[in-house]
Structure formats: structure tokens, C-alpha cells
Amino acid sequence: MSALSDRAEISELLDRYLTDFDTLLTQPFDHVPRDDAWYRRLFTEDLRLTFPVGGHQGIAGLAEFQLAAKANWARTQHISSNHVVDLDGDKAALRAQLLVTHVHPVELSRPHFTAGSRIQALAVRAQEGWRLDELTISLIWTSGAPPVR
């Protein structure tokens, strides 16, 4: 495989993950249920996720973790940009910028919560193709009303 196709495949893993989160409770694009098996298309078995509000390790329970995170919001929109992929054999580092808008449930009557973040990820080449092994989202700034816990 060429470096260009490797970079595109790694970048697409992040895009699929973020885009999918925005449709998780409505209608997935491919009409496939979001279970742990689906997340194996994107992540390694022992993945490590680190977010400003918590984290998760391993594929087991990832679908449930994602649904619980999404339950705080009526809608979300994740926009990532400036993907930089540094290849090193069968490993790669990915950096990107992230702008997220979170819409509160209508009954809360709260202003949207918006965040600017930095993404850092590690990917590994598996037999099935590239998979994300680590994903960290770090806050840079926020605006609006945070989630009600």
C-alpha cells in the first residue's frame, strides 16, 4: 500500500467514528446496529479512549459507553479538520482539530454547548487494515452550557 492510501484509511477511521456519533441515536448511515462488533471496524480490541468527561478501555462495552455519552444530548455535530498522519511502518500517529456543537434536549432550554478540541490518536496496521488503538480528545476552549449530570 502507498503512504497516501494509508493516510486516507487512517483519517477515514476518525471521520467514521465522529460522524457516526452524530447519528448514533437516530439513523446510522449504513443501517447496521452499533454494537461492539461494529466498533471492531475502527478500533483494536484493547483500544484506549480518553475524553474530557471520561474514558473507556477495550472493545467490550464500547457500544454501551457510546450510547451513554450520547444520551446527554438531543443532537451533536462533530467537525474534524487538519488531519496530519505520521506513518512509521505498521504504526501511525494522527493529529486533528475538532469543533463540536452539542444541543441540549429541548425540555432543558439551555444554550448549545460548543467546544474546540485537539485530537491525538495512534493507529496500527492489523490483518483487516488500519485500526485506531488510542484516541485522546483534549479541550482547548468551550462556550455555552455544559451537560447537566
At 65-120, the pLDDT tens digits run 998 888 889 999 999 999 999 999 999 999 999 999 999 999 888 999 999 999 99
The H-or-E segment that residue 38 falls in is helix 36-39
Looking at residue 33, what is its pLDDT? 73
124 is a domain residue: yes
149 is a domain residue: no
Share of the chain above pLDDT 70, in %: 93
Sign of CA dihedral 131, 141, 65, 34: negative
Residue 95 belongs to domain spanning = 3-144
Pick the closest to residue 11 from 82, 78, 99, 114 (CA basis): 82
Total domains in the fold of the chain: 1
DSSP 54-123: EEEESSTTHHHHHHHHHTT-SEEEEEEEEEEEEEETTEEEEEEEEEEEEE--GGG----EEEEEEEEEEE
CATH no. for residue 118?
3.10.450.50
Q: Exposure of 42 by Cβ count < 10 A (0-12 exposed, 13-18 middle, 19+ buried)?
A: buried
Q: What is the mean pLDDT of residues 23-48?
A: 81
74 is a domain residue: yes
Strands 75-88 and 54-57: unpaired
Q: How many residues does the chain have?
A: 149
100 is a domain residue: yes
Looking at residue 31, what is its pLDDT? 62
Looking at residue 138, what is its pLDDT? 98
122 is a domain residue: yes
51 is a domain residue: yes
Q: Is a pLDDT exceeding 90 seen at residue 25?
A: no
Looking at residue 141, what is its pLDDT? 98
Q: What is the mean pLDDT of residues 39-47?
A: 96
135 is a domain residue: yes
Confidence of residue 34 (pLDDT cuts 50, 70, 90): confident
Separation of alpha carbons 53 and 66, rounded Å: 12
Q: Is a pLDDT exceeding 90 seen at residue 140?
A: yes
Pick the closest to residue 132 from 22, 15, 10, 2 (CA basis): 10
Looking at residue 29, what is its pLDDT? 61
Q: What is the mean pLDDT of residues 124-144?
A: 97
Q: Do 111 and 144 contact (CB within 8 A), yes or no?
A: yes
